[in-house]
């Protein structure tokens, strides 16, 4: 769960689709932990629906990235790009 948390924090600097996908994944991991300790059916349902939303976000992210690299422009809306214009790696 720590790795997912670190990736979630890192996704704040990228577009909103990645942030929402990692938010759903973080809810899945936290919900599975809570459901494991409590045995709550409610947490299992929250985890299941959040997992479906995470899969949908990941599919949207994948399709958007492939279309953008193929056609050279953004085709699917991904939300605003949150990273600064100049990257330190450049």
Give, in order, the Cα–Cα distances in Å from 56 to each of 21, 24, 25, 43, 61: 8, 10, 11, 20, 9
Instruction: Give residue-wise pLDDT tens across range 72-88.
Output: 888 888 777 666 666 55
Task: For residues 44 and 62, give the distance between their C-alpha atoms in angstroms, rounded to a whole number.
Answer: 27
Domain span at 43: 16-71
In a domain, 34, yes or no: yes
> Looking at the 3D structure of the chain, how many domains does it have?
1
Instruction: Give residue-wise pLDDT tens across range 15-47.
Output: 888 899 999 999 999 999 999 999 999 999 999
Q: Is the pLDDT score of 65 beyond 50?
A: yes
Task: For residues 46 and 64, give the distance between their C-alpha atoms in angstroms, rounded to a whole number.
Answer: 27
Q: How many CB atoms lie within 10 A of CB 23?
A: 16
In a domain, 26, yes or no: yes
Specify the pTM: 0.79
Instruction: Work out the average pLDDT over 60-80.
Output: 85
């Amino acid at each position: 769960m720590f790795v997912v948390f670190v990736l979630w924090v890192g996704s704040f600097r990228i577009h909103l689709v990645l942030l929402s996908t990692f938010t759903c994944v973080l809810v899945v991991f936290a919900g599975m932990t809570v459901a494991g300790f409590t045995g709550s059916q409610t947490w299992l349902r929250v985890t299941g629906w959040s997992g479906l939303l995470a899969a949908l976000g990941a599919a949207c992210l994948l399709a958007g990235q492939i279309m953008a690299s193929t056609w050279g422009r953004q085709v699917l809306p991904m939300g605003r790009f949150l990273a600064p214009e100049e990257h330190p790696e450049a």
